[in-house]
Chains A and B, each alone.
Chain A
Amino acid sequence: MNVALLLETVAADRPAAIAVQDDDGRDSYAELLDGARGLAAWLERAAPPGPVAFVGTNRREMVELLFAAAYAGRTFFPLNFRIKQEEMARQLARVAPTLAMVGERNRDMVTAAARAGAVDCRILTAEALVAEAAAADGDAVTAPFDAAAAALYLATSGTTSDPKFAVVTHGNLFEYVVNTVEAASADAGEAVLVSAPTYHIAGIAQLLGNVFRGRRIVLMSQFDALRWLELVRDEEITHAMVVPTMLRRILDLLDTRPDLAPRTLVSLSYGGAKAPPGLVERALRTLPGQVGLSNAFGLTETTSTVAVLSPEDHRRAIASDDPAVRARLDSVGHPIPGVEVMIMRADGSAAEPDEQGEVCIRGGHVSPGYLGKRAALDDAGWLHTADQGRLDADGYLFLGRRDDDVIIRGGENVDPTEIEAVVLSHPAVSDVAVVGVPDAEWGEAIGALVVGDSETSTDDLQRWVRERLAGYRVPALVHWTEELPRNEMGKLVRRWARQEILVGLDHAEEEDV
């Protein structure tokens, strides 16, 4: 298997159809295929064997490079262009790409990072790289057929620790796509807006799935709510995927600009992070009725989506008076074909319906492991996600806290999500993150980073929690903020929240002095 075959299949079916477009132009499926094969032929002589990196915002040349790398048997390594130079140097040194395509504005920083990391990597802007490769003849290029070969190295989002690099194989990507997409099944008018970055598995999976479907792919270089709604209108977008933060910004804008309501959109999926309370109900109320909402849950290590809450599930839940059916808006739906989900007890046995345990995932989508580290799977092939969850009697998957998030205060295990639910129920609070912070007496103390009406006193908030939970669960440290620290996929980064509480504590002590 090789993901380049996904493109070949669709290019044979509809060569003249538009495959991908950005602000600067568009390529048909035949042009994308020719470009990728030419670039693959050029890669052979342009850089020694090794991974091929990309640093920049979404653009057509990046899609070409993704498929060129597959043809050339190179691993594609997209990096987050927002990370600091020091972190980029560490990532480049770890993966050791021999060639990097970069955006113009990223070139100096990537060059400095490669030097700092002592990485022998040829760095070219997208324009320079494509110009240099233009004369290459890719007619003789064929894709190697090796399912176990690494197609991607992706830094995991690292919300609780330093990033690891998940190895995503051609087999993983291939199984994900063919299990969820019918080849060349898109109608002529379908168009998808891709706003997720490709250094995230959601962006890559969305690209590959839509190539295989044969849709017109409209690339958005960077998300902006107004631009997103304008693109949906101007490009007659029918399908899109957003993270919850993006969805909230779109809904906020629609409150004041109802004229931008997405009239052509029929499918909007959201994922990448847990949607905050109330957001999905608000989306169902605000968006035009033809928009079907899907919640997609997945991990980098599972090659994107493993469970989906369908549009029909959303409609049924919002219309239901049954609390159990209504609660499914908080679930991530059913596992998709080719994926097994088991809720595992601590002793390794399978939990009963509605019993909490660790969410474990098995199937052809699941990455075999991390670059240079141990395999990610247990002996039976299960990926242990460290997410707590449950399956209800109808097979809907509900997620709870991560094992890594548990606070240990004086030997007591404290689940932060229980405290967060109580703090959120306070009328003055709109968002909250509860984390453990180092404490000399208790090992960890409970800290709360709170978004809301800061006129509310910390004493009042602590009293609210004390009236509803045991005293040891009351946050000892409360810090008010404008917005919770989330990564670009909208996922709460707890170590940043912890840092913000600690910095706030330092400032408070300085003021006391």
Chain B
Amino acid sequence: MSKLGKRYRCVSCATVVLCLRPSAEEFSCCGETMREKDMEELPSGD
């Protein structure tokens, strides 16, 4: 499943997508399922 606000990365081409609408489906790229990206520190003002 794809989760809102999570980032997914293609293991082949390194493309990253951000999920803006959750779904039971999974993202795929270059013929493979994209992997959920590790959390990263984002610059936030709050």
Contact = CB atoms under 8 A, between A and B. Distances in A.
Interface of A: 1, 5-6, 8-9, 145, 174, 177-183, 185, 192, 202, 205-206, 209-210, 212, 239, 241, 269, 271, 294, 296-298, 304-305, 308, 310, 333-334, 336-337
Contacts of A8: 4
Contacts of B5: 6, 9, 177-178, 181-183, 212
A10 to B, nearest CB: 9
Interface residues of B, number: 15
A337 B45 contact: no
B1 to A, nearest CB: 11
A178 B46 contact: no
Contacts of A337: 42-43
A310 B45 contact: no
A381 B3 CA distance: 30
Given A178-B5, A181-B5, 17 more contacts: A1-B21, A5-B21, A9-B22, A174-B20, A180-B42, A183-B3, A209-B46, A241-B46, A269-B45, A269-B46, A271-B45, A296-B45, A304-B45, A308-B43, A336-B43, A336-B44, A337-B43
Contacts of B13: none
Interface string B9-30: 0000000001011100000000
30 contacts: A5-B21, A8-B4, A9-B3, A9-B5, A180-B45, A181-B42, A181-B44, A182-B5, A183-B6, A185-B39, A192-B46, A205-B45, A205-B46, A206-B46, A239-B46, A269-B46, A271-B45, A294-B45, A296-B46, A297-B45, A298-B45, A304-B45, A305-B44, A308-B43, A310-B43, A334-B43, A336-B42, A336-B44, A336-B45, A337-B42
A174 to B, nearest CB: 7
B3 A308 contact: no
A271 B22 CA distance: 33
Contacts of B20: 1, 174, 178
A145 B45 CA distance: 27
Interface of B: 3-6, 18, 20-22, 39-40, 42-46
A400 B44 CA distance: 23
> Chain B's interface: helix, strand, loop or mixed, by majority?
loop
> Chain A's interface: helix, strand, loop or mixed, by majority?
mixed
Contacts of B21: 1, 5, 145
Contacts of B44: 180-181, 209, 294, 305, 308, 336
A182 B43 contact: no
Contacts of A180: 42-46
Contacts of A177: 5
B46 A305 contact: yes
A205 B44 CA distance: 10
A210 to B, nearest CB: 7
A9 B40 CA distance: 18
Nearest to A338: B18
Nearest to B43: A308
Top-4 shortest CB links A-B = A296-B45, A183-B5, A305-B45, A206-B46
A297 B22 CA distance: 31
A182 to B, nearest CB: 5
A310 B45 CA distance: 9
Contacts of A334: 43
A182 B45 contact: no
A239 B45 CA distance: 11
